[in-house]
Amino acid sequence: MTNKNSRRSHDAFFRWLFADENHLRALLKLSAKSNLEIQQFLAAVDPNTFVRIPDSYSNVDETGEADLAFRVNASSGNHALVGVLLEHKSGPDSNTLEQMEKYVNSVMKAYAQSHSATRIPTVAILFYNGKGPWDPFKILRKNYSDYFFKSVLPYQCHFIDMKMISDEDCIGCDDVATAMGVTAMKYAFNRKKLLAILPKFQKALTQIPYDEAKNLLEKISVYLKEYLGESILKELDMAFVSIGQKYGFVSAGDVFRQRLAAGKAEALAEGISKGRKEGRAEGLSKGLSKGRAEGIRQNTLSLAKTFRNKGFPLEAIADATGLTIDEIKAL
């Protein structure tokens, strides 16, 4: 996209995830479960032959002509090519059809010419995850009946409201990244639903490599922050506490432990300093012991009070600090 929204993180997240042909196939299979047109499209092509057209946008600055563009072989068996454009919207946009027509004229015609073809039939698929309902074809319906209005466009166009992809299908999807990505997009405006459904992917998440899981969680967090704010990171953190610890995703308990470790080092240094000032081995020992114990104790109490005031569960604070719940309440 080249419009003013081209750098928004929702486009970056969509492009990052579905530029991968495997994730694209999984996305289309999920969409086909509730969309007859996508079922027909997948039957008309060989899904195993998807290849991204690399110059449709830049991986570096995330700008370009289209969100994503691919070519795929028709299922006829004669290797005839079909162009596929993916466009994503997080809100209604009256210029979307014109945008996609421009993409067909620029991206697909250029690709056809580079492959000595006069024309490649193109299918444009518009994915939408906005708050309310949207009919991108409404402007055409004003002038044409359903029988005619799609033929007005110079390309085949399908519309997918991502909210229509079921939670059950996502949870049962073998492609964890696609399933979690779709879920995050479905509920990008619904914190309650999001926090209820994402933890259900915990088991599946442990089945993919460390780096992939960690990267996926971080990408989803950055994406969701745009819509739900900084606080969603803390809530997701708590929801994924066990998974997060496994994959290096910082949890509330991790924060406690990191700060306590820093406190112990500070207390140790303070104890050594006191012992040296006393100038005796006995003073060093006593100062070290006393300074370390007192420093750790005060640091622990301070951290516990801070996190209690921020609303963290008392049980989580007790587990991380070693304090009793009564001690935490008394702070």
- Alpha carbon 113 to its chain centroid, in Å, reads 36
> Could you give the count of Cα atoms lying within 13 Å of 20 in the half-sphere of its Cβ?
12
d(CA 281, CA 301): 30
Which pLDDT band holds residue 309 (cuts at 50, 70, 90)? confident
Q: Where are the domains of the chain?
A: 9-165, 252-330
- Indicate the helix (H) or strand (E) that contains 255: helix 252-278
Assess whether pLDDT exceeds 50 at residue 68. Answer: yes
pLDDT of residue 103: 84
Across 79-83, 134-138, 256-260, which has the greatest mean pLDDT? 134-138
Across 14-18, 77-81, 218-222, 298-302, which has the greatest mean pLDDT? 14-18
- Indicate the helix (H) or strand (E) that contains 276: helix 252-278
User: Which amino acid is located at 240 in the chain?
Assistant: F
CB 176 within 8 A of CB 205: yes
- pLDDT tens, residue by residue, 158-175: 999 999 999 999 999 999
- pLDDT tens, residue by residue, 318-330: 777 778 888 888 8
Assess whether pLDDT exceeds 70 at residue 155. Answer: yes
Question: With b meaning 16 or more CB within 10 Å and e meaning fewer, what string describes 9-35?
Answer: bbbbbbbbbbbbbebbbbbbbbbbeeb
CB 205 within 8 A of CB 241: no
Assess whether pLDDT exceeds 50 at residue 265. Answer: yes
Which pLDDT band holds residue 146 (cuts at 50, 70, 90)? confident
- List all residues 6 or more positions away from 286 whose beta carbon is below 8 Å from its beta carbon: 275, 278
Cα dist. 125→140, 226, 248, 281 in Å? Answer: 17, 24, 36, 77
Task: State phi, psi for 36 to the nearest 5 degrees.
Answer: -65, -35
- Indicate the helix (H) or strand (E) that contains 70: strand 68-73
CB 38 within 8 A of CB 58: no
CB atoms within 10 A of CB 292: 21
For 277-313, give the DSSP string.
HHTSHHHHHHHHHHHHHHHHHHHHHHHHHHHHHTT--
CB 268 within 8 A of CB 286: no
